[in-house]
Homo-oligomer: A and B are copies of this chain.
Amino acid sequence: MASEFDLIQRYFTRNTPQALLGVGDDAALIKPSAGMELAISTDILVAGTHFFADTDAYKLGWKTLAVNLSDMAAMGSKPRWATLGLALPEINEEWLAKFSEGFFACAETFGVDLIGGDTTRGPLTLSVQIMGEVPAGKAIRRDNAKIGDEIWVSGELGTAALALAVLQNKIALSESEMSIYRLALEQPEPKVHLGIALRDIANSMIDISDGLLADLGHILKRSKVAAHIHLEQLPTCNYVSHHLHEKPIHKLVLAGGDDYELCFTAPKSQHAKILEISQELTLPISCIGNIIAATDGDFSSTVYNQQHQIIDIKETGFDHFA
């Protein structure tokens, strides 16, 4: 049977041109670039909580890294280095080969080196830490949204949650429709290039992993402001836009998790520039509302429909323990 050291060597040791020393010592060594700050984030993904244990290993490998790259994107940071902690119930070399292939496909797409890791026996659990660089003072934080800012989101909202609802037999879709939507759930594309492009443009930014209202809510609370959101301006896939006025669909769009799009706020003066970036990156970016002053310490979003009626929103996003 292959030992832990053989496994690491076989599946997780690739060239690390961005490291002084990669996998194989007590620690990896890197030399951050002069004038840069390091952005650091970590995620722990558990089978049964974050993904089905029988998820395709290649897609799981991709997503494990992608969700972390999304955190880098949300800071305007260029991701460069990652480490991976992996607890496995057994050695399944076919699974490991596919998982590592998906992980490295994502790593190579976004220029990330896997510089260290740890493998052990245990319930299937994946832990990634990601490190990126951002010029000093240029990171885009959650706490700097300004009254009057426009609120933007990239891509589509609710598509991953729609695919999950289909997999859970809550919504019925044809296989051909589903084949497009499930990509959003299983192989999300982190918006790394957009994050970097917004460095001198956005006042605040977050990635949407727990649902628009929950994640925008973090910006509002940290920035001590409130928001107006226009339901019809939310970018959605065909299925969702056709059903946008049904209550369960509101929930998908406003509180559905796993989108890994960016939500950011920027001064109105940047409106045209943002649309240019959208064209350059061939990535839809939609203006969905405005930052307003908070009343009586209520740092929340109010969602309006086309008739200027307030939509009653009880869902506040996904909380692993709530």
Contacts and interface: CB of A to CB of B under 8 A. Distances in A.
Interface of A: 1-5, 7, 20-21, 24-32, 34, 37-50, 71-72, 74-75, 77, 81, 83-87, 91, 115-123, 125, 127, 129-132, 134, 136, 139, 141-143, 205-207, 222, 319-322
A162 B13 CA distance: 34
Contacts of A205: 26
Given A4-B322, A120-B50, A319-B5, A31 B37 contact: yes
Given A38-B32, A129-B129, A207-B26, A319 B122 contact: no
B125 A83 contact: no
A141 B25 contact: yes
Contacts of A115: 40
Given A116-B42, A125-B46, A25 B85 contact: no
Contact of A31 (B29, B72, B136, B143): B136
Nearest to A205: B26
Given A37-B30, A91-B321, A136-B31, A118 B43 contact: yes
A97 to B, nearest CB: 16
A208 to B, nearest CB: 11
Chain B CB within 10 Å — which of A24, A28, A31 has the most?
A28
A319 B87 CA distance: 13
6 contacts: A26-B206, A29-B39, A29-B75, A41-B83, A46-B121, A123-B123
Contacts of A132: 27
